[in-house]
A and B are shown apart, each in its own frame.
Chain A
Amino acid sequence: MGPGEDSGVRERQRERASALQLGLIGVVASAIGIAIGLAIDWFPTAASTQADEIDTLWDVLIVASVPVFVLVQAVVLYCVWKFRMRPGQEMQDGPPIHGNTRLEVIWTVIPAVLILGLCTYAYIVLTDIEEAQANEMTINVVGQQFTWTFEYPSGNGVVRSTQLYLPENQPVRFQVRSEDVIHDFWVPAFRMKVDAVPGLTTSYRVTADRLGTYPVVCAELCGLGHAYMRQTANVVTRPQFDRKLQELRRGAPQGTGAGQSGSAGQAGAEGEGATGQGQAADGKAVFAAQGCGGCHTLADAGASGTTGPNLDEVLEARDAEKIREDIVDPGKEIAEGFANGIMPGNYSALPPAELDALVDYLEEQSR
């Protein structure tokens, strides 16, 4: 045995020892990393059957990806520790290793198998969370700058609200539409979202399984009031839901079947079903249903939006004609400190009765 072969054997042994050392460090670090990854409270409260499946998929992804991350970090840190240039090595090179086919095959095949496995699992989860359920209830969701309106089937017509109500354990299919630009209907507690696209009806399903109130968020940039396009989803018991629907139905203005419900687009606000106070009260309902409070402040309507002018201030000294003009042609006269093109121009399409009611209501507020 020559001295060359001898040093070759020693070299291989050293290599193996390094790899073993590194492997041990990697296993320990991966275990710690996975423990941390699973311990972090990532998600908001889960309130739908869909949420449970998605949260489990997340945990699986943590378990699968932490070791990959740790492996890379461990090798980098190990190399920095073991192989960094030491004094006297300034002119020294590493061994001229050009490759190793077996290693290259391994690190192509293992990630490919891992990834296809994860894709398969994700596909199964996807089919589950989107599966049609028996006796689904359909709720229409309409997005507009900058509020959501929810429509529930009721007898021959629909009733509307600006806060979402869902009966517990009832499979629901949301049919999502948009009146103007793209929005995105997201309830983080349900883990599901879809864009509201002009010209399309999109949809998804959830079965809410936990009583409570949860934020409804617009997740697609829709303009100035995007950040404030937040409302509330209320998961209630079946009897509560039926009562609520009744209430909403009673509150609906006669003839139009529309324009009911609560205080503006601000999360958590309540105030459905104000009725019986004549024309002005209807106008208040229109103000709420159209989501005016998403952008405007108006004390009487409990609205505190700041995107547009404060109506408690700017309405003073404006007559009905001016107020009407402000609604149907917002660019004509612009309040100081605000830019043109911010207020949507589509309020001119309001039914005349609703527009009249809204103008009367606002004129009343201006006094």
Chain B
Amino acid sequence: MTAVLRPAPGIPRAGLFILYGAAFAYLILLAAHGFDTGGVQGEAFLRVAMIACPLFALAGLGAFSYWFSWAIGSPTKPEDHSSHGAKTWKDYFRVNTDHKVIGIQYTVTAFFFLFVGGLLAMLMRAELAQPGRQFVDANTYNGLFSVHASILIFLFIIPVFAGLANYVLPLMIGAPDMAFPRLNALSFWMLPLAGILMMASFFAPGGSFATGWTAYAPLSTTAPIGQEFFTIGVQFAGASSIATALNFLVTIITMRAPGMSFFRMPLLVWANFSTSLLVVIATPFIAASQFFVLLDRGLGFNFFDSTQGGDVLMYQHVFWFYSHPAVYIMMLPGFGIVSEVLSVKSRKPIFGYRMMAFSLLAIVVLGFTVWAHHMFVSGMQNWIRIPMMITTAVIAVPTGIKIFSWLATIWRGVLRLDTPMLFALGFLTMFTLGGISGVVLAMIPITIHVSDTYFIVAHIHYVLFGGSLFTIFAGVYYWFPKMTGRMYDETLGKLHFWTTFIFFNLTFAPMHLLGVEGMPRRVYDYAEAFGTLNLIVSLASFGVGLSTLVFAYNIVASWRGGPRAAANPWRALTLEWQVSSPPPVFNFDAVPTVVGGPYEYGVPGAVHGVFKDGARVEQPAGPATERAGE
């Protein structure tokens, strides 16, 4: 074999390649202007460089190396495991093909962006604590909420779920890795680049993108260059999402352990299967919407210039055809996490397992039929509102099935009220409120009054914070022992839960009232009458901010020096708990055979999977790595 086995290049080489990318962008523009150095404009250079530099950085990291070698006919070695598994912490800063390393890379990166996004929210609340201008000007404020939402949606919630699933999903289905480990690595490394683009927009001339995460045209097509940091950043985050979703789909369909039929899969797997369907179908639409904006801005296509025959409403239709399903992309994996936690911590089977799986699929299908409820006051054709109202409200039915089934699951269980369970129960209560305000919002006459107000801000945060983030915390605490081999501190965990739960409600509940009373969203100043409630909200939001520090301390301290975790501290039946904590590099020393359902708690002698002797995984050339050759 002539293929060289050496660790993937690190971040310094990526930095060097970014310079190459900038040089490349300049040369391209120079050539386009007939090598007249005076012709190249700053904005055009920035635009091309924003596309070229991340791609060059990925090449510098070695994310494309294998495919490049294969394409030019160099010898390649499909079973090359030189960049698989982490031996030191430094390996987390290189391209790695181990789904467990990638899972941790994803999760930690996403949490970094949670703190960035949260910090931006604190700045906003500081400005909003009193009427009038205090700390920031209008442009900065508009940038704050735009970057806050974009980072938390595209770089926290969506990727953190992908990260947790990356770690546990192959383990749960008894697979040695994801189906396409190299694609998996590429998916991860696109994310920090997208995040850097979005954060860097604050340094752009004219300020950061400031048109909200929705970037409605024509505001976005006429905004300063900072807008394009969003336009292009989203492309990288979106490509990452799509690649990961494809990876999950193929992994789930083809790599389940013997005996694991679809109806023996844990609900987390079902949830990620459903989510991945949504991502694969919907995400290209947001890519399209941002390409339209880019073409409008860069090359004067006038898609959204009504004086040139453009259609302003088309942007919203294309955008929401992704961005409504995106809400479910940000929620379904959380449903999966909660199902795992509630069943294990109540010591009872999931109530109505099949209905739980079918309701996920029902949400996937219905999720594509409701996008225009974001456009009830947009001036679109009036009749479209009626079917969209009905489908929107009807989504509450499968969602209701899930909530009632979870309630029936904990009913008469033996409830372990530790941190993951508290967050799961907190999710149940808070998400119900977000769901109810969602049904209220489906009612067109109500939406006509409250759309674009703080009622919307309250609703989205009850869904994405009280819903998604609570499930993320539940999942992180639940799998922390598996991922790190250490136990977290239970007392600090409970402190984290209670402070988050209380301050979350104090922050977001009053916003319902503010919105109905008439306070529009996305304003850095407001009428005097809203002063008192806004002060309460701001003070409470700082409490939320502080509560996450408890979490950060607990995680860092426990990871460094927490007590060693047993293989199966929760006495769970699913397969990820049947291997050591953390699991061996190729997950299973012997291929498990699945013989029953995943949640048979209380059934005497029940097991989910067994390990047969003599079926040892051949290392290093396991079945997954053969597929990885592509």
Q: B-contacting residues of A (Cβ < 8 Å)?
A: 15, 40, 42-44, 53-54, 57-58, 61, 65, 68-69, 72-73, 75-76, 79-80, 83-85, 89, 92-100, 103-104, 107-108, 111-112, 115-116, 118-119, 122-123, 125-126, 129-130, 176, 180-182, 184, 186, 188-189, 191-195, 197-200, 202, 204, 215, 217-228, 230, 267, 306-307, 339-342
Task: List, in ascending order, chain B residues with CB within 8 A of A218's CB.
Answer: 520
Q: A225 and B138 in contact (CB under 8 A), knowing A65-B440, A339-B224?
A: yes
A44 to B516, CA, bound (A): 8
Task: List, in ascending order, chain B residues with CB within 8 A of A219's CB.
Answer: 377, 451-453, 520
How many A-B pairs have beta carbons closer than 8 Å: the answer is 267
Instruction: Establish whether residues A129 and B393, one from each chain, have CB atoms under 8 Å apart when the complex forms.
Output: no
A-B CB contact pairs (8 Å), 11 listed: A54-B448, A65-B436, A93-B414, A130-B382, A194-B377, A194-B448, A197-B378, A198-B307, A221-B142, A224-B138, A339-B139
Instruction: Establish whether residues B306 and A61, one from each chain, have CB atoms under 8 Å apart when the complex forms.
Output: no
Instruction: Tell me, rounded to whole Å, the shortest Cβ–Cβ distance linking A83 to chain B.
Output: 5
Q: A96 and B349 in contact (CB under 8 A), knowing A76-B410, A89-B414, A104-B355?
A: yes
List CB contacts (< 8 Å) of B109-135 with chain A.
Answer: 133
Instruction: Establish whether residues B413 and A94, one from each chain, have CB atoms under 8 Å apart when the complex forms.
Output: yes
Task: List, in ascending order, chain A residues with CB within 8 A of B403's CB.
Answer: 72
Instruction: Establish whether residues B377 and A96, one from each chain, have CB atoms under 8 Å apart when the complex forms.
Output: no
A129 to B447, CA, bound (A): 13
Task: List, in ascending order, chain B residues with CB within 8 A of A116's CB.
Answer: 390, 393-394
Q: A306 and B133 in contact (CB under 8 A), knowing A79-B411, A184-B452, A339-B206?
A: yes
Task: List, in ascending order, chain B residues with CB within 8 A of A202's CB.
Answer: 379
Kindly state whether residue B547 has any CB partner on chain A within 8 Å. no
Instruction: Establish whether residues B379 and A200, one from each chain, have CB atoms under 8 Å apart when the complex forms.
Output: yes
> What's the tally of chain B residues with a CB closer than 8 Å to chain A?
92
Kindly state whether residue B310 has any CB partner on chain A within 8 Å. yes
Kindly state whether residue B187 has any CB partner on chain A within 8 Å. no
Kindly state whether residue B417 has any CB partner on chain A within 8 Å. yes
Instruction: Establish whether residues A307 and B138, one from each chain, have CB atoms under 8 Å apart when the complex forms.
Output: yes
Task: List, in ascending order, chain A residues with CB within 8 A of B416's CB.
Answer: 85
Task: List, in ascending order, chain A residues with CB within 8 A of B436's CB.
Answer: 65, 68-69
3 cross-chain pairs, A with B, having the tightest CB-CB distances, nearest first? A199-B306, A188-B518, A227-B523
In this complex, what residue of A is CB-closest to B223? Answer: A341
In this complex, what residue of A is CB-closest to B452? Answer: A219
Q: A95 and B602 in contact (CB under 8 A), knowing A79-B415, A341-B206?
A: yes
> Which of B205, B313, B396, B411 touches A197 (beta carbons < 8 Å)?
B313
Kindly state whether residue B425 has any CB partner on chain A within 8 Å. yes
Instruction: Establish whether residues A119 and B353, one from each chain, have CB atoms under 8 Å apart when the complex forms.
Output: no
Q: A-contacting residues of B (Cβ < 8 Å)?
A: 133, 138-139, 142, 205-207, 210-212, 216, 218-219, 222-224, 306-307, 310-313, 346-349, 351-355, 377-379, 382, 385-386, 389-390, 393-394, 396-397, 400-401, 403-405, 407-408, 410-417, 425, 428-429, 432-433, 436, 439-440, 442-446, 448-449, 451-453, 513, 516-518, 520, 522-527, 600-603, 606
Task: List, in ascending order, chain B residues with CB within 8 A of A193's CB.
Answer: 377, 448-449, 451-452
Task: List, in ascending order, chain A residues with CB within 8 A of B452's CB.
Answer: 184, 186, 193, 219-220
Instruction: Establish whether residues B446 and A83, one from each chain, have CB atoms under 8 Å apart when the complex forms.
Output: no
> Which of A72, A84, A122, A267 touches B444 (beta carbons < 8 Å)?
A122
Q: A79 and B352 in contact (CB under 8 A), knowing A53-B445, A96-B603, A112-B394?
A: no
Instruction: Tell me, rounded to whole Å, the shortest Cβ–Cβ distance linking B130 to chain A.
Output: 14
Instruction: Establish whether residues A57 and B377, one from each chain, have CB atoms under 8 Å apart when the complex forms.
Output: no
Instruction: Establish whether residues A69 and B433, one from each chain, have CB atoms under 8 Å apart when the complex forms.
Output: yes
Instruction: Tell me, rounded to whole Å, the shortest Cβ–Cβ distance linking A129 to chain B.
Output: 6
Instruction: Establish whether residues B523 and A182, one from each chain, have CB atoms under 8 Å apart when the complex forms.
Output: no
Q: A199 and B312 in contact (CB under 8 A), knowing A68-B432, A339-B207?
A: yes
